[in-house]
Amino acid sequence: MEGEEEDKNLVYFDPPLWRQRRSFVNEVLRESKVTSVVDFGCGEGSLLSFLIQPFEESPITRLAGVDINREIAEQAVENCRPWDHDVEFLRLTPLTVDIYQGSIDIADKRFLGFDALVCMEVVEHVDPPVLDKFFDIVLGTYKPKIVIVTTPNVEFNVYFPQLKYGTPEATLRIEDHRFEWTRKEFQEWGNSGAKKYNYSVEYTGVGKLKYGDPAVGNVTQIAIFRDLNPSSKPLLSSFDTYEHIEKIDFPYYNEPDKSYEEILETIHYYLQFLCNRIIDTTNIKNDQQHEPNRIKIEEIWDIHRIRQLCKTKDKLRDVLRSSSDFTLLNDEEIIVHREYHLDSYDHQEEDYDDYDDDYEYHGGDEILSSPNYNNDDQNWVTTTTNTAITTNGWPDYNGDYDSGWGDEGK
């Protein structure tokens, strides 16, 4: 009976709520083609480390995070350092990450000029006098092209019976929350800032229940602000200073451009494996014939070394067109006219293993394979019994980051 009672207090999100939030932010930034991002209230660097990914176009080259708690900011530094794979598979473009200690009600001149600012699961932890300065600092002074703010939707608390939402005894999800807004309250707050500083704003959210009431909305609500007048001057003319904790420089590929002949030599090396791989033909229709030398350009582009040499898909296509060994059927496929013969089974297996490591890590699933990305596919569980120990007014969680309200780890 006790176990059945506990099950009533669980709400499951799949994918995990933290992943839904970070993936949403990542996709908005990608679509907006930003190259520099501030994480305002970065905590332990969960979002920053998630964003340390090489985008195919307009990659992020500059990240900055600020948090009021120095100890937590120092942990962000550790979580954002390069991994061994970052040395083995060099990025295509430079990347710097700067971590600061400071309060979000202070403007630092070094934060001017960033394309985007993200404030994820932070505003609900902030006292009203600090929050009152938020738009003056963010929209009025830093003036990024795009601002993303996420915060809990208190209306969703109806699914957490212990919180007694809608009653005089109602409590918030976490003890350190100063407030939790309804969607109307959040939109009134967002609209006031957008109107004052000439930003557009749209509202959305993540985290739904499969059989939940659509009228309740998502567990997390999100506002996306876009600057309508980027040429306007910053509101503040005097600035304070955050404490700079550390600057992290990622290694990147910076060799001189190779000739088409040198690039083609590398392409032929990898094509010997692509053209000789074992293909499952069970799904090929009877009237279709498997063509081992018909290769998708995406498969070649997915090889990290090819990306380093070509930089863009257009250059890869130009290199392929320059050789009589290939015929481009369209922008997506080629016919390979050369035959490749691997020397022996042992040699084939050894070389293909090397190729496969390269392909898996820096291929189509590179974000999921990166060591800077938490690749835990478990269902995420929310309980209504978790509380937080606070440190200097910011939540400090103990225990498993896959359980809780989804606020920990952001």
List pLDDT tens digits, range 61-99.
Answer: 999 999 999 999 999 999 999 999 888 889 888 999 999
| Tokens at 249, concatenated | 């420089």
Q: Which residues contact 341 (CB under 8 A, 6 or more apart)?
A: 272
> H or E element: which one contains 21?
helix 17-32
pLDDT tens profile 314-349? 999 999 999 999 999 988 999 999 988 775 334 434
What is the structure's pLDDT at 144? 97
Q: Lowest mean pLDDT: which of 28-42, 265-279, 319-333?
A: 265-279
What is the structure's pLDDT at 266? 96
What is the structure's pLDDT at 56? 60
Instruction: Give 403 or 325, the one with higher predicted confidence.
Output: 325
Question: What value does the mean pLDDT of the chain take?
Answer: 80
- 153 pLDDT exceeds 50? yes
**What SS3 string covers 166-208?**
CCCCCCCCCCCCCCCECHHHHHHHHHHHHHHCCEEEEEEEECC
What is the structure's pLDDT at 283? 55
At 170, is the pLDDT very low, low, confident or very high (cuts 50, 70, 90)?
Answer: confident
- Across residues 135-153, what is the average pLDDT? 96
Percent of the chain with pLDDT strictly greater than 90: 58
- 164 pLDDT exceeds 90? no
Instruction: Give 200 or 387, the one with higher predicted confidence.
Output: 200
Burial (CB count <10 Å: 0-12, 13-18, 19+), residue 239: middle
Dist. CA 271–CA 273, nearest whole Å: 5
- 227 pLDDT exceeds 70? yes
At 279, is the pLDDT very low, low, confident or very high (cuts 50, 70, 90)?
Answer: low
What is the structure's pLDDT at 7? 47
Contact 248, 80 (CB under 8 A): yes
- 228 pLDDT exceeds 70? yes
Range with the largest mean pLDDT of 45-59, 171-185, 365-379, 380-394: 171-185
Q: Lowest mean pLDDT: which of 136-145, 299-308, 392-401?
A: 392-401
Percent of the chain with pLDDT strictly greater than 70: 76
| 3-class secondary structure, 261 | helix
What is the structure's pLDDT at 276? 84
> Which domains does the chain possess?
17-250 (3.40.50.150), 260-277+291-336 (1.10.10.10)
Dist. CA 294–CA 290, nearest whole Å: 9
- 111 pLDDT exceeds 60? yes
- Kindly calculate the radius of gyration of the chain based on its CA atoms and give it in whole angstroms: 25
pTM: 0.77
Dist. CA 226–CA 33, nearest whole Å: 13
- 400 pLDDT exceeds 70? no
What is the structure's pLDDT at 210? 81
Contact 392, 68 (CB under 8 A): yes
Q: Which residues contact 116 (CB under 8 A, 6 or more apart)?
A: 29, 32, 34, 36, 37, 38, 144, 145, 146, 147, 148
DSSP state of 104: T
- 393 pLDDT exceeds 80? no
Contact 273, 173 (CB under 8 A): no
At 203, is the pLDDT very low, low, confident or very high (cuts 50, 70, 90)?
Answer: very high
End-to-end C-alpha distance for the chain, whole angstroms: 33
What is the structure's pLDDT at 231? 87
What is the structure's pLDDT at 232? 87
Neighbours of 400 (CB within 10 A): 10
Helices (H), 226-303: 260-274, 297-301
- 166 pLDDT exceeds 90? no
What is the structure's pLDDT at 55? 61
